């Protein structure tokens, strides 16, 4: 089959790496890709936010299957355009992508099906939002309604912070994403990421992982897109998984179908778990990054069969074959990330690193200049390893990290601390 993956991060490198191992994969194109992806697939340069351009590329190149990596093209309806052109596509249409693109939409769905999540209020003007904060007290969480690349969430531990976050959002600091604001009860507990394949009718749990959101060791510093991950997440016991499926995932999927917007793709269920009870923090409509990297490392070639079965509505026949293994990924980022950082520094030491079923360097923000790998983004490399235990995976991953020669980068030394 001819396969096209949309995206350019470590998530898409990991997807490409897994898909490529499947014998059904004849030709693999990633748009736009990055320097690491270019080592294992063809890269194509067109605007993946432009549904017409994606359809044109797919039809001109006889693409049999499109896998959409990030949320942004899903939120503007690229999957709908592909399906309308009879191209098989993994990922939800625009209506179902609201589960990530609008926090108010998700909260309303949760309320309709009684799924456990934080209490909330939804506001279109600052005064009402501030009254709500004054009435509820702190800690409280202020969120821009729309897509804000992970930056539209302010955890306020005092009233002044909450009130100024409300002003910032309504004054346009987060652009259109902040035109509406959701204010939530602050939930305590342990966070986990749970991934469920959904074909519009059936659901299939794919795996669990834990991310590390803060920039620095000890969960200090600013929030980021994620500085490292491991899989499985011990907090996701069979009992917690069963509760999550019964109380949150299945009711949400049934409600989406009932409203005429069945969800097809990977549902990323962000959870807060306390005393064995999961509550929903958020849904995303795509794989997590870097959670995808550890899931792909563990699942390998079968990923393609699972995504294809999902897109073709055959999930009831599919199953996930888990090995009793662990994977861990360390994100190497450019100094200054998540704020300003320099681009263009040269990364050395990558050639000598092992690349096999237990060791992979997934590239995120990289490019090629004069035959050398350079940093072109905030999160730059995802050093990923697999092992029989989490400790073994971690030792292998940091062994590789130590061999990378990149003075302009930084990383966390404590990925996996919670589980070890
Ligand atoms: P979100 O973009 O909704 O995932 O929020 C980003 C991060 O903020 C989450 O991963 C949590 O760590 C935190 N967060 C969001 N909502 C809440 C909440 N209601 N209570 C506690 N933490 C939250
Ligand atoms: N790592 C969290 C996310 O992808 O949203």
Cα 179 to chain centroid distance, Å, stands at: 24
C-alpha distances in Å from residue 23, one per residue of 4, 304, 306: 16, 10, 14
Please report the atom of ligand 1 found closest to the CA of residue 187: 20
Contact criterion met (CB below 8 Å) for 366 and 347: yes
Per-residue pLDDT, 77: 98
Per-residue pLDDT, 418: 85
The arithmetic mean of pLDDT across residues 397-413, rounded, is: 98
The arithmetic mean of pLDDT across residues 162-168, rounded, is: 92
Confidence of residue 178 (pLDDT cuts 50, 70, 90): low
Q: Which residue's C-alpha comes closest to atom 2 of ligand 2?
A: 288
- Ligand closest to Cα of 227 equals 2
Beta strands in 310-352 (DSSP E): 326-334
CATH 3.40.50.20 region(s) of the chain?
2-92
Using most ligand atoms within 8 A of CB, pick from 72, 224, 268 the residue to mutate for ligand 2: 268
298 phi and psi, to 5 degrees? Answer: -85, -35
Per-residue pLDDT, 27: 98
| Check whether domain 125-179 has CATH 3.30.1490.20, yes or no | yes
Residue 214 has pLDDT above 90, yes or no: yes
The arithmetic mean of pLDDT across residues 320-331, rounded, is: 96
Q: Is the dihedral of CA 273, 274, 278, 283 positive or negative?
A: negative
Q: Which residue's C-alpha comes closest to atom 4 of ligand 2?
A: 288
% of the chain residues with pLDDT over 90: 91
10 Å CB burial of residue 66 (0-12, 13-18, 19+) is: buried
Domain 190-317 fold:
D-amino Acid Aminotransferase; Chain A, domain 1 (3.30.470)
Size of the chain in residues: 420
Looking at domain 326-410, its CATH class is: alpha beta
Per-residue pLDDT, 150: 64
Is the CB of residue 110 below 6 angstroms from any atom belonging to ligand 1? no
Is the CB of residue 213 below 6 angstroms from any atom belonging to ligand 1? yes
Measured in Å, residue 111 CA sits from the centre of ligand 2 at 24
In order, the DSSP letters of 150-175 are T--EEEESSHHHHHHHHHHHHTTTTG
The arithmetic mean of pLDDT across residues 193-211, rounded, is: 97
| Check whether domain 2-92 has CATH 1.10.10.10, yes or no | no
Please report the atom of ligand 1 found closest to the CA of residue 184: 19
Q: Which residue's C-alpha comes closest to atom 1 of ligand 1?
A: 282
The answer to whether the bond into 232 is cis (omega within 30° of 0) is yes
Is the CB of residue 19 below 6 angstroms from any atom belonging to ligand 1? no
Q: Are strands 42-43 and 27-32 parallel, antiparallel or unpaired?
A: parallel
Q: Which residue's C-alpha comes closest to atom 8 of ligand 1?
A: 153
Name the maximum alpha-carbon separation found in the chain.
60
What is the helix (H) or strand (E) element at residue 18, kind and residue range?
helix 10-20
pTM summary value:
0.95
The mean pLDDT value of the chain amounts to 95
**Residues 335, 219, 222: CA angle, nearest 5 degrees:** 50
Measured in Å, residue 281 CA sits from the centre of ligand 1 at 6
345-377 pLDDT tens trace: 999 999 999 999 999 999 999 999 999 999 999
Comparing C-alpha atoms, which of 148, 147, 167 is closest to residue 159? 167
Residue 177 has pLDDT above 70, yes or no: no
Measured in Å, residue 78 CA sits from the centre of ligand 1 at 27
Q: Which residue's C-alpha comes closest to atom 5 of ligand 2?
A: 288
Per-residue pLDDT, 29: 98
d(CA 236, CA 208): 7
Measured in Å, residue 153 CA sits from the centre of ligand 1 at 7
Measured in Å, residue 25 CA sits from the centre of ligand 1 at 38
Residue 152 has pLDDT above 90, yes or no: no
d(CA 196, CA 385): 23
Q: Which residues line ligand 2 (CB under 6 A)?
A: 211, 225-226, 284, 288-289, 291
Q: Are strands 65-68 and 140-144 parallel, antiparallel or unpaired?
A: unpaired
Per-residue pLDDT, 174: 72
What is the helix (H) or strand (E) element at residue 307, kind and residue range?
helix 302-311
Measured in Å, residue 100 CA sits from the centre of ligand 2 at 12
Per-residue pLDDT, 173: 77
119-133 pLDDT tens trace: 999 999 999 999 999
Residue 146 has pLDDT above 90, yes or no: no
Residue 154 has pLDDT above 70, yes or no: yes
In sequence order, the β-bridge partners of residue 2 are: 27
Residue 18 has pLDDT above 80, yes or no: yes
Residue 410 has pLDDT above 80, yes or no: yes
d(CA 316, CA 240): 22
CB atoms within 10 A of CB 112: 13
Per-residue pLDDT, 23: 98
Per-residue pLDDT, 171: 87
The arithmetic mean of pLDDT across residues 20-41, rounded, is: 98
Using most ligand atoms within 8 A of CB, pick from 148, 226, 281, 283 the residue to mutate for ligand 2: 226
Q: Which residue's C-alpha comes closest to atom 3 of ligand 1?
A: 282
372-396 pLDDT tens trace: 999 999 999 999 999 999 999 999 9
Residues in Cβ contact with 359 at an 8 Å cutoff, skipping those fewer than 6 apart:
353, 384, 385, 386, 396, 400
Per-residue pLDDT, 147: 78
87: left (phi over 0), alpha (psi -120 to 50) or beta: beta
Confidence of residue 258 (pLDDT cuts 50, 70, 90): very high
10 Å CB burial of residue 46 (0-12, 13-18, 19+) is: middle
Per-residue pLDDT, 367: 96
Confidence of residue 298 (pLDDT cuts 50, 70, 90): very high
Coil, helix or strand at residue 268:
strand
In order, the DSSP letters of 103-150 are HHHHHHHHHHHT--B--EEEESSHHHHHHHHHHH-SSEEEEESS--TT
CATH 3.90.600.10 region(s) of the chain?
326-410
Coil, helix or strand at residue 349:
coil
Is the CB of residue 191 below 6 angstroms from any atom belonging to ligand 1? yes
10 Å CB burial of residue 125 (0-12, 13-18, 19+) is: exposed
């Amino acid at each position: 089959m001819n396969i096209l993956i949309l995206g350019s991060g470590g998530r898409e490198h990991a997807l490409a790496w897994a898909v490529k191992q499947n014998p059904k994969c004849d030709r693999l194109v990633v748009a736009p890709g990055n320097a690491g992806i270019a080592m294992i697939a063809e890269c194509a340069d067109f605007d993946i936010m432009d549904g017409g351009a994606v359809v044109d590329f797919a039809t001109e190149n006889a693409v049999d299957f499109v896998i959409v990596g990030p949320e942004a093209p899903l939120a503007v309806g690229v999957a709908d355009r592909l399906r309308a052109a009879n191209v098989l596509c993994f990922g939800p249409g625009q209506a179902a992508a609201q589960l990530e693109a609008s926090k108010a939409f998700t909260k309303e769905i949760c309320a309709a099906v009684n799924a456990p999540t934080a209490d909330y209020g939804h506001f279109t003007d600052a005064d009402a939002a501030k009254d709500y904060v004054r009435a509820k007290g702190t800690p409280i969480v202020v969120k821009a309604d729309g897509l804000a690349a992970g930056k539209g969430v302010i955890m306020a531990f005092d009233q002044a912070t909450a009130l100024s976050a409300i002003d910032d959002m309504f004054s346009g600091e987060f652009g259109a994403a902040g035109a509406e604001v959701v204010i939530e009860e602050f939930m305590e507990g342990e966070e986990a990421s749970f991934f469920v394949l959904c074909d519009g009718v059936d659901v299939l749990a794919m795996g669990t992982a834990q991310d590390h959101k803060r920039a620095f060791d000890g969960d200090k510093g600013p929030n980021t897109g994620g500085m490292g991950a491991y899989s499985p997440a011990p907090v996701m016991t069979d009992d917690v998984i069963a509760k999550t499926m019964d109380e949150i995932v299945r009711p949400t999927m049934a409600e989406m179908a009932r409203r005429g917007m069945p969800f097809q793709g990977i549902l990323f269920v962000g959870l807060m778990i306390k005393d064995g009870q999961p509550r929903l923090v958020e849904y995303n409509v795509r794989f997590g990054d870097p959670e995808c990297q550890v899931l792909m490392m563990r699942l390998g070639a079968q990923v393609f069969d699972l995504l294809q079965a999902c897109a073709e509505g055959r999930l009831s026949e599919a199953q996930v074959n888990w090995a009793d293994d662990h994977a861990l990924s360390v994100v190497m980022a450019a100094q200054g990330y998540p704020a300003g950082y320099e681009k263009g520094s040269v990364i050395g030491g990558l050639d000598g690193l092992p690349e096999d079923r237990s060791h992979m360097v997934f590239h995120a923000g990289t490019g090629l200049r004069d035959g050398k790998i350079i940093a072109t983004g905030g999160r730059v490399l995802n050093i990923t390893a697999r092992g029989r235990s989490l400790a073994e995976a971690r030792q292998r991953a940091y062994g590789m990290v130590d061999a990378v020669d990149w003075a302009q980068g930084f990383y966390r030394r404590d990925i996996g601390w919670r589980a070890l």
